[in-house]
Structure 1
């Protein structure tokens, strides 16, 4: 049966591969991106987030079956805070009412294995408090402090998003409404966003020293698309609040037994 999916970040990388896979399987995809998509919206702004919801409602006729909140930035900037956390949460919360008409509603967001890295605690607290002004201010301070402090921005936003998913998934608004909400945590995927880390053999060797991926190393976005497609399919009826690491083993190497 054909389903209607909303995929953010659909113009490139994981989002593009996921949209293509779903369309190959006969589903309808409403792609969202800053350019080159069905819905053009800047998720770093309140206006862009509102545009996303309004245009998806118009294009879908008011009912969708799944949300894939995949859009993200990897730069050490305040914009990464705005898109990766506040944009993702606004996508999920804003589109959630449109899932009410689906017989099998599903939602998933793209986090990252970088969520395992030590966060900037002040930024993390602002994110979890949903204080966008404070979070953007702290991100500005980290950028001003130099490359090393600013490098914590990305992982901190992804840890905050993972925590938000864990907290929101079991609530009446999500689980209580029959909507499985989950996240994925990819390792290093060969996309335009990671080109600086995957473009040469030397770069790949260097990044794998930081992100150990013993199972087949760096992989293609299509591999992530298969997981996103399953998580948002009718088959996934009971996974709730899980962050699924598709990372070639990074989580197992870094955390070991710490999940027990």
Structure 2
């Protein structure tokens, strides 16, 4: 059996690093991609960075990928969040798809978020889905200027969910399962800096996104699910948004 080859974006920290580590521990070859501390350095908020990702991964993989794990993301009240979370993720998946087509059992997964069902702005999500990046960035900046910057992140993830549900059908026709994992709040350094270390903000987030199995959740549990979705074992699931959220989605949408 050939060694499986994976590309993981956002692999320098958090969920991306944990997923890359788990895949490597399974015996796979892992191409770690990020803006720092990675095999392939690429800024996915820019067209040039997206091109660099594709060319770098193509060279490092030898022309074949068995799986893509698109984790890279931002949670800033900024148009950069839309450029990375939505357009950068799609560019990653579509740009690396030819390498997946060269594999016998290819798989792909993106990271979404529970917050997409809690605090997204429909207008920004629709703007993203026009596939006009500059227009979507303008819509994101307008939200920030109106004092609603916190909606940018969940809106980018809601748009990603909708794009993925549609795209998964054509990907399935090519024999490539495409799914998303939507974590709840997990214990990453980014989450600590953003709100977990502040008792008041932590309490507000915990109330908005209740997690019966624990708050915050463990990073490794999310990484394990991501790793499974791109494994050969996942042969019959596609187009799904899998909530790894400690029961939050079931609580909010019983």
Short-chain TM bin:
over 0.9
Q: How many angstroms does 1:203 deviate by?
A: 4.8
Normalised by the length of structure 2, the TM-score is 0.96
Instruction: Determine the structure 2 residue equivalent to 1:89.
Output: 90
Instruction: Determine the structure 2 residue equivalent to 1:220.
Output: 218
Q: How many angstroms does 1:118 deviate by?
A: 4.4
Cα deviation code 1:24-63 (max 9, x no counterpart):
1111100110111001100000000000001101111111
Moved more, 94-103 or 203-212: 203-212
* Residue correspondence of structure 1 range 115-126 to structure 2 within 5 A: 115-126=116-127
Aligned: 1:184 with 2:176: no
Instruction: Determine the structure 2 residue equivalent to 1:114.
Output: 115
Consecutive unaligned residues in structure 2, runs of 5 or more: none
- Structure 1 residue runs of 4+, over 3 Å off? 200-206
Distance in structure 1 (CA, Å) of the matches to 2:56 and 2:202: 39
Instruction: Determine the structure 2 residue equivalent to 1:25.
Output: 26
Q: How many angstroms does 1:217 deviate by?
A: 2.6
RMSD: 1.2
Q: How many angstroms does 1:145 deviate by?
A: 1.4
Contact kept in structure 1, 2:118 and 2:208, CA below 8 Å: no
Q: How many angstroms does 1:100 deviate by?
A: 1.4
* Residue correspondence of structure 1 range 80-229 to structure 2 within 5 A: 80-146=81-147, 149-171=148-170, 174-195=171-192, 196-199=194-197, 203-229=201-227
Q: How many angstroms does 1:204 deviate by?
A: 3.7
Q: How many angstroms does 1:150 deviate by?
A: 1.1
Normalised by the length of structure 1, the TM-score is 0.94
The number of residues matched between the two structures is: 252
Q: How many angstroms does 1:201 deviate by?
A: 5.5
Q: How many angstroms does 1:200 deviate by?
A: 5.6
Contact kept in structure 2, 1:73 and 1:193, CA below 8 Å: no
Distance in structure 2 (CA, Å) of the matches to 1:106 and 1:199: 36
Aligned: 1:251 with 2:249: yes
Instruction: Determine the structure 2 residue equivalent to 1:16.
Output: 17
Distance in structure 1 (CA, Å) of the matches to 2:225 and 2:203: 26
Q: Which SS does the other structure have where 2:8 is aligned?
A: strand
Consecutive unaligned residues in structure 1, runs of 5 or more: none
Contact kept in structure 2, 1:66 and 1:99, CA below 8 Å: yes
Instruction: Determine the structure 2 residue equivalent to 1:38.
Output: 39
